[in-house]
């Protein structure tokens, strides 16, 4: 059992030691191929180095410095003006603006709707709600709850149609 553990370790070590030994040579090394790269190796590009050590450059620094100084002064003045404008705008935003009270015109009251029950009773209402099979009718004294089956739908629709009101019951 020990042989099977030692053998892969020795194989790994020999391959890594061989790569680090002085006898191993890079096949893409131009020295190995006497200065020429084999076709399967990457060939680096040659970039000639520029040499400016022999060239002397003289520039009229006074004129350029004066022009740059003027530009810096102009830009500094513009920055001050813009900062002042920005501060003024922020101050105006922070001041509370007088608000005018909104005048809401009251809506005219909705046309009253008449509900006629099967027992002959009539209920006049300004609003209603249908929840499932129940009808909630809003009256001045409160809400009246009744089943939709207790309402005479044909008579209710006829009575309200005379006044231009459409009463429809949703399908359940």
* pLDDT tens string 19-65: 555 555 666 666 555 555 556 665 555 555 555 555 555 555 677 77
Please check whether residue 167 lies inside any domain of the structure.
Answer: no
Structure tokens at 126: 């300004």
- Taking only the tens place, the pLDDT of each residue in 107-152 is 887 788 899 999 999 999 988 888 888 899 888 888 889 999 899 9
* Within a domain: 55: no
Residue 133 within a domain: yes
- CATH code assigned at 128: 2.30.30
Task: Tell me the C-alpha to C-alpha distance, in Å, between residue 97 and each of 78, 86, 94, 164.
Answer: 30, 19, 9, 47
Phi and psi based region of residue 9 (left: phi greater than 0; alpha: psi -120 to 50; beta: remaining): alpha
Is residue 104, in this structure, part of any structural domain at all? no
Q: What is the predicted pLDDT for the residue at 93?
A: 78
Per the structure, how many domains does the chain have?
1
- Domain limits at 131? 113-161
Residue 2 included in any domain: no
Is residue 149 situated within a structural domain? yes
- Asked if residue 147 is part of any domain, the answer here is yes
Residue 61 in any domain: the answer is no
Which whole-number Å values give the CA distances from 5 to 9, 14, 17, in the listed order?
Answer: 7, 15, 19
Which has the closest alpha carbon to 124: 134, 133, 116, 136?
Answer: 116
């Amino acid at each position: 059992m020990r042989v099977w553990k030692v053998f892969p370790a020795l194989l790994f070590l020999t391959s890594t030691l061989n790569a680090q030994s002085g006898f191993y040579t890079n096949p893409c090394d131009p020295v190995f191929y006497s200065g020429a790269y084999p076709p399967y190796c990457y060939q680096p590009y040659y970039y000639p180095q520029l040499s400016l050590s022999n060239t002397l450059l003289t520039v009229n620094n006074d004129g350029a410095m004066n022009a740059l100084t003027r530009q810096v002064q102009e830009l500094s003045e513009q920055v001050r003006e813009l900062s002042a404008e920005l501060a003024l705008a922020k101050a105006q935003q922070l001041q509370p603006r007088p608000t005018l009270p909104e005048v809401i015109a009251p809506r005219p009251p909705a046309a009253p709707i008449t509900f006629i029950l099967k027992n002959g009773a009539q209920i006049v209402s300004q609003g209603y709600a249908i929840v499932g099979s129940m009808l909630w009718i809003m009256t001045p004294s409160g809400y009246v709850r009744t089943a939709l089956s207790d309402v005479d739908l044909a008579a209710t629709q006829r009575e309200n149609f005379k006044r231009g009101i459409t009463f429809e019951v949703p399908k359940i």
